[in-house]
């Protein structure tokens, strides 16, 4: 099994090196795109920036309960997800 893993890694590295040698355009490192807006409707082309900014404020809401009839089994029920807000009703993040 370890030999198969090493063989796969070696093949991947060789293919990657060949692609970089044949296609020099793949060597360019593209910076992270800054949100850009279309001048006609001011809609962002990507929500990546907003998602990364708000992600720390997203929480998972769940409930734990003990079921006494089923030999004290712990039951976890997911209730959904939410966003931590502050008093200004804006999402909270640090």
Per-residue pLDDT band for 30 (boundaries 50, 70, 90) equals low
Answer whether residue 69 is part of any domain. Answer: yes
CATH code assigned at 67? 2.40.10.10
Answer whether residue 75 is part of any domain. Answer: yes
Answer whether residue 58 is part of any domain. Answer: yes
Q: Rounded mean pLDDT of 12-39?
A: 74
Answer whether residue 66 is part of any domain. Answer: yes
Answer whether residue 84 is part of any domain. Answer: yes
Q: Across the chain, which distance is largest between two alpha carbons, in Å?
A: 67
Total domains in the chain come to 1
Give 32 or 78, the one with higher predicted confidence: 78
- Cα(58)–Cα(47) distance, integer angstroms: 16
pLDDT tens column, 64-82: 777 666 566 667 777 888 8
Answer whether residue 61 is part of any domain. Answer: yes
> Is residue 17 scored above 70 in pLDDT?
yes
What pLDDT sits at residue 79?
A: 80
Full residue range of the structural domain in which residue 89 is found: 54-93
% residues pLDDT > 90 (the chain): 11
Answer whether residue 70 is part of any domain. Answer: yes
Answer whether residue 78 is part of any domain. Answer: yes
DSSP symbols for 44-55: BS-SHHHHHHHG
Q: 3-state class of 39 per DSSP? A: coil
The whole model's pTM is what? Answer: 0.32
């Amino acid at each position: 099994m370890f030999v198969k893993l090493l063989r796969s890694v070696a093949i991947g590295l060789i293919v990657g090196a060949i692609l970089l040698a044949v296609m020099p355009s793949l060597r360019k490192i593209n910076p992270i795109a800054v949100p850009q807006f279309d001048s006609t409707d001011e809609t962002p082309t990507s929500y990546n920036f907003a998602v990364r900014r708000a992600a720390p404020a997203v929480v998972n809401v769940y409930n734990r309960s003990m079921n006494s009839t089923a030999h004290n089994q712990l039951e976890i029920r997911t209730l959904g997800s939410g966003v931590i807000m502050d008093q200004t009703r804006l999402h909270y993040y640090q």
